[in-house]
Chain A
């Protein structure tokens, strides 16, 4: 499958694009490994193997050629995005199950690459957060002293070597701490945010991971692989809700910086809302799509029941994409007025 014009010397193939997306994820992965330990790599490996196996199995069932679909690397991108959104020290079956749902249900049952209305990685994530909220909330403690062997043992057997305590390896995410803290009452947001878990900018350790995602996203934009409209519109959407709330009652609501650096906000801006298949494709549509994803992320985080909301926001807006695309079709050159050119 190639999408090249005649004047471009080297054709842009899907697998080249996907390879660059994977490369753009590397800085974030490196920082994640530094922060949460080699468990991150185990999650990536488990997700990749499961994704390729699931893709091959379904393609065989559908009697479609297997090799080209595996070689386009799109399943690996889905697997990596999913593995990077899941808890780094989650049990092995969680990432396997999530990847199966993403590839089989989110992608292949709709007809494979290019036909899925929903972002497959977000389908997998949403299935897990709805089904296993407790396990999904237990994140590795950043910079915890836990060696690789202990992490492996925890991921595969759910036991720990003698001497290490569960607190060292699983802590709630800052979003979770804030949400439960506010629900319990007693302390307001500004007091809660003084805790060491939040660091200086709202997410100790995690802020560097988030910035590394942003770096990868910027490189993809520089390589002309993602449009600037969707990510910027999404960040504008996040600001549009979080800034007024914070200015209105800083004691009650977290700052816009907190929302930018926590959860999957920057990962989504660079790699998830820019998915060319499930996102909007018209110029105006990309602005609307991205902006509303950003708005929904903050609205669901602040007023909803789940701590992070990127998956839900993206899935909800995926549903709206056909409508957005239809109503924002650009005028065809040479025709007057008519929206439905």
Chain B
């Protein structure tokens, strides 16, 4: 096993953690804040966005040599919009209840900055496979944030987890719902928009703490290692 990470590992690490679209790039905040009031909605929108980002990155990458530089943005948006339309129609057909809940936020994936940003910053200058992988990982990174935020808000706001899972998984999903507090429990602030901002801020702060600790550990290790090796040297 070599020490240098492969390009695939590098792309995954950036998408899922180092350049996480929700926590670091802070792109696509509108759906993140609006749809994260429960886990099921968050997961569904996250996966839909992942699908679009992966497919659009692959498509943009495959046509990158033929797209004139000056009109690349309209071309990218057309590609993204067509893919979103497909996802929109598919969800309307097969996940109709969920489609009704997510409403305008499915078509709005077109304007989600993270899709456009990956097309522009990565897919338009990288080979197809890498671009598809990058789109997938960025989408999954966003999905992770959405689900964490959705879980936090649903748990604190309503005392449940995975409420309405049947909308995503069919009737079997109903058993997945966890009722962790009394049926009367409600903490409205977490379900309302302020809860989304507070929750996202907590997640970002949490990531920063973890990163700071990792840096400290790395610095400590870097300080110790040369001493151990270089003790005979001046």
Residues in A lying within 8 Å of B, measured CB to CB: 105, 127, 130-133
Instruction: List the B side residues contacting A132 at CB < 8 Å.
Output: 187-188
Q: Please measure, in the bound complex, the distance between the C-alpha atom of A131 and the C-alpha atom of B198, giving whole angstroms.
A: 14
Q: Please measure, in the bound complex, the distance between the C-alpha atom of A131 and the C-alpha atom of B189, giving whole angstroms.
A: 5
Q: Please measure, in the bound complex, the distance between the C-alpha atom of A130 and the C-alpha atom of B186, giving whole angstroms.
A: 11
Instruction: List the A side residues contacting B194 at CB < 8 Å.
Output: 130
- Chain B: which residue is nearest A105 at the CB level? B198
Whether the Cβ atoms of A130 and B198 lie closer than 8 Å is no
Q: Please measure, in the bound complex, the distance between the C-alpha atom of A135 and the C-alpha atom of B191, giving whole angstroms.
A: 18
How near does chain B come to A127, taking the closest CB pair, in angstroms? 6
How near does chain A come to B63, taking the closest CB pair, in angstroms? 47
From DSSP, what is the main secondary structure of chain A's interface residues? helix
- Chain B: which residue is nearest A128 at the CB level? B189
Q: Please measure, in the bound complex, the distance between the C-alpha atom of A132 and the C-alpha atom of B194, giving whole angstroms.
A: 15
Q: Please measure, in the bound complex, the distance between the C-alpha atom of A131 and the C-alpha atom of B192, giving whole angstroms.
A: 9
| Chain B 89-126 near chain A by CB (<8 Å), digits 1 or 0 | 00000000000000000000000000000000000000
Number of A-B contacts (CB under 8 A): 14
- Chain A: which residue is nearest B191 at the CB level? A131
Instruction: List the B side residues contacting A131 at CB < 8 Å.
Output: 186-190
Q: Please measure, in the bound complex, the distance between the C-alpha atom of A127 and the C-alpha atom of B198, giving whole angstroms.
A: 12
Q: Please measure, in the bound complex, the distance between the C-alpha atom of A132 and the C-alpha atom of B188, giving whole angstroms.
A: 7
How near does chain B come to A319, taking the closest CB pair, in angstroms? 14
Q: Please measure, in the bound complex, the distance between the C-alpha atom of A130 and the C-alpha atom of B193, giving whole angstroms.
A: 11
A-B contact pairs, 14 of them (CB 8 A): A105-B198, A127-B189, A130-B188, A130-B189, A130-B192, A130-B194, A131-B186, A131-B187, A131-B188, A131-B189, A131-B190, A132-B187, A132-B188, A133-B188
Instruction: List the A side residues contacting B188 at CB < 8 Å.
Output: 130-133
Instruction: List the B side residues contacting A127 at CB < 8 Å.
Output: 189
Q: Please measure, in the bound complex, the distance between the C-alpha atom of A130 and the C-alpha atom of B187, giving whole angstroms.
A: 9
| Chain B 156-193 near chain A by CB (<8 Å), digits 1 or 0 | 00000000000000000000000000000011111010
Instruction: List the B side residues contacting A105 at CB < 8 Å.
Output: 198
How near does chain A come to B186, taking the closest CB pair, in angstroms? 8
Q: Please measure, in the bound complex, the distance between the C-alpha atom of A132 and the C-alpha atom of B187, giving whole angstroms.
A: 7
Q: Please measure, in the bound complex, the distance between the C-alpha atom of A133 and the C-alpha atom of B188, giving whole angstroms.
A: 9
Instruction: List the A side residues contacting B187 at CB < 8 Å.
Output: 131-132
Besides A130-B192, A131-B186, A131-B187, 4 other A-B contacts (C-beta < 8 A) = A130-B194, A131-B188, A132-B188, A133-B188
In the complex, which residues 188-205 of chain B have their Cβ closer than 8 Å to any Cβ of chain A?
188-190, 192, 194, 198
Q: Please measure, in the bound complex, the distance between the C-alpha atom of A91 and the C-alpha atom of B132, giving whole angstroms.
A: 54
- Chain A: which residue is nearest B195 at the CB level? A131
Q: Which 10 A-B pairs have the closest CB atoms?
A: A131-B189, A131-B188, A131-B187, A130-B189, A127-B189, A130-B188, A130-B192, A132-B188, A105-B198, A130-B194
How near does chain A come to B192, taking the closest CB pair, in angstroms? 7
Instruction: List the A side residues contacting B190 at CB < 8 Å.
Output: 131
How near does chain A come to B207, taking the closest CB pair, in angstroms? 16
Q: Please measure, in the bound complex, the distance between the C-alpha atom of A105 and the C-alpha atom of B190, giving whole angstroms.
A: 14
Q: Please measure, in the bound complex, the distance between the C-alpha atom of A132 and the C-alpha atom of B184, giving whole angstroms.
A: 12
Q: Please measure, in the bound complex, the distance between the C-alpha atom of A130 and the C-alpha atom of B188, giving whole angstroms.
A: 7
